């Protein structure tokens, strides 16, 4: 790839609009997550509730998985994404009203978490499928890394800002998120119209399942996204951060915000590196190594009693996760025809959601059964075991050299 490619990407105006929309959407979601988690833990003091929020938010991904992809392939992706962002703004507005009237309850948080998950379940595959039509294929791996740098930049600043603002009251967190989502909505609507014809077919069972069949027919894609599913599902400790902040590391909402920001610091630094120096050789080995580092970092975080050491370990964790994410996202999107990218992205989104939201439920449940620290340590060990097993189950993925090898072989 020529050295001027990142410069061309920065001068690509539709991508800049997309990039900014990602910043505002990610900022709104991260601020909501910090505030909701702390608010709920204050209301109930129950670690299992923190896990249940993740489960409730994940449920719409399963309920609507087949339909979200079809919507992304059949309708204008800009408008679908904008509608989803508007719905999230309304959810934040409901929390503003609830906080202002002192009527935020455990049940209200669960209902709004479900609605938030529903909106995001349609937004994620739509925006994933939208990016390849904005930038040339040659710039796409760098565009993925650059788009992730936008999200991670927001993830660094927004949780810390959300934790700081929460000290003045939850309404000071929920209020700005309404504005952030509305700005993202306007930016999304200003993107160029889709150039390829829309899929006008009806939502038959056969068309809805096309994304699943496509992934099953590509062993490397199946191996990559399932590795992310099980490794992050077991190794994720995000839902337990309020417990670590309050009871183990003895900090407050501001400290919680820093803990949530720390993985994004590592992810941002790595995404900036990958945006300029894309992984071009031995991509399979690099991806599996990164997932292994993720597992080791999870174990170290679970055993840590030092706030600053915990922050450092989470930075490493975020950097490792970013490497595997960019490799996976790049070849999944590049190998998928545009007319079915929405359906494939919906299935991929289910795997990502399972590894995140369902992983939060798993963390809360195991913490409830075994304790917070043992739950995180066992999760990290589980990640290492999954990594070793997947190397054996998907040898072509583990030995994959270049990003585009499967496409070339299919054409050969």
Tens digits of residue pLDDT in 226-269: 887 777 777 667 777 888 887 788 877 778 878 877 887 888 88
Express each pLDDT in 196-215 by its tens digit: 555 555 656 666 677 777 77
Q: Which residues contact residue 87 at a Cβ distance below 8 angstroms, ignoring those fewer than 6 apart?
A: 115, 118, 119
Express each pLDDT in 306-316 by its tens digit: 888 988 999 99
Is pLDDT larger for residue 83 or for residue 150?
A: 83
Model confidence at 7, pLDDT cuts 50, 70, 90, reads very low
Long-range contacts of 99-102 (CB under 8 A, 24+ apart): 99/169, 99/170, 99/171, 99/174, 100/171
- The whole-number pLDDT of residue 404 equals 58
Express each pLDDT in 11-66 by its tens digit: 678 888 888 898 899 899 988 888 888 888 888 877 778 778 877 887 887 788 77
Q: What is the mean pLDDT of the segment spanning 381-385?
A: 89
What are the tokens at 212? 């699943």
Model confidence at 3, pLDDT cuts 50, 70, 90, reads very low
For the chain, what percent of residues have pLDDT higher than 90?
Answer: 11
Predicted TM-score of the model (pTM): 0.67
- In whole angstroms, what is the distance from residue 298 CA to residue 235 CA? 6
Distance spanning both ends of the chain, measured CA to CA: 23
Structural domains in the chain, sorted by start = 10-194 (1.20.1250.20), 203-405 (1.20.1250.20)
Is pLDDT larger for residue 178 or for residue 3?
A: 178
In degrees and rounded to multiples of 5, residue 204 shows phi and psi of -80, 165
Q: Are 298 and 379 in contact (CB under 8 A)?
A: yes
Alpha-carbon distances of 15 from 11, 127, 142, 173, 197, rounded to whole Å? 8, 12, 12, 28, 21
In terms of Cα–Cα distance, which of 313, 324, 263, 242 is closest to 290?
324
């Amino acid at each position: 790839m020529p050295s001027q490619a990142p410069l061309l990407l920065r001068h690509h105006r539709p991508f800049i609009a997309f990039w900014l929309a990602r910043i505002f959407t990610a900022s709104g979601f991260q601020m909501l997550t910090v505030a909701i988690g702390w608010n709920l833990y204050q209301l109930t003091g129950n670690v299992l509730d923190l896990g249940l929020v993740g489960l409730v938010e994940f449920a719409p991904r399963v309920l609507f998985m087949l339909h979200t992809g079809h919507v992304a392939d059949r309708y204008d992706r800009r408008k679908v994404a904008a509608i989803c962002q508007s719905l999230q703004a309304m959810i934040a507005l409901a929390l503003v009203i609830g906080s202002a009237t002192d009527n935020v309850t455990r049940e209200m948080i669960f209902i709004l978490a479900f609605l938030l998950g529903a909106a995001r379940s349609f937004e994620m595959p739509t925006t994933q499928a939208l990016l390849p039509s904005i930038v040339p294929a040659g710039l796409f791996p760098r565009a993925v890394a650059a788009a992730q740098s936008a999200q991670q930049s927001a993830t660094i600043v927004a949780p810390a800002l959300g934790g700081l603002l929460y000290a003045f009251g939850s309404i000071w967190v929920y209020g700005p998120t309404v504005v952030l989502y509305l700005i993202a909505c306007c930016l999304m609507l200003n993107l160029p119209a889709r150039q390829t014809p829309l899929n006008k077919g009806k939502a038959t069972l056969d068309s809805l399942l096309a994304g699943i069949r496509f992934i099953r027919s590509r062993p490397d894609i199946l191996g990559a996204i399932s590795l992310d599913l099980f490794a992050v599902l077991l190794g994720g400790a995000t839902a337990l951060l309020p417990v670590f902040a309050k009871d183990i590391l003895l900090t407050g909402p501001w400290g919680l915000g820093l803990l949530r920001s720390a993985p994004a610091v590592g992810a941002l630094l790595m995404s900036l590196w990958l945006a300029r120096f894309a992984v071009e050789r031995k991509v399979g080995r690099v991806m599996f190594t990164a997932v292994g580092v993720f597992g080791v970092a999870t174990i170290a975080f679970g055993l840590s009693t030092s706030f600053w050491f915990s922050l450092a370990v989470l930075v490493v964790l975020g950097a490792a996760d970013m490497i595997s994410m960019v490799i996976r996202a790049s070849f999944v999107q590049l190998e998928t025809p545009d007319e079915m990218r929405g359906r494939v992205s919906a299935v991929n989104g289910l795997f990502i959601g399972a590894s995140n939201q369902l992983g939060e439920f798993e963390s809360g449940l195991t913490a409830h059964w075994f304790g917070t620290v043992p739950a995180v340590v066992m999760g990290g060990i589980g990640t290492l075991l999954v990594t070793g097993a997947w190397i054996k189950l998907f040898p072509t993925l583990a030995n994959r050299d270049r990003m585009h090898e499967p496409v070339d072989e299919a054409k050969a």
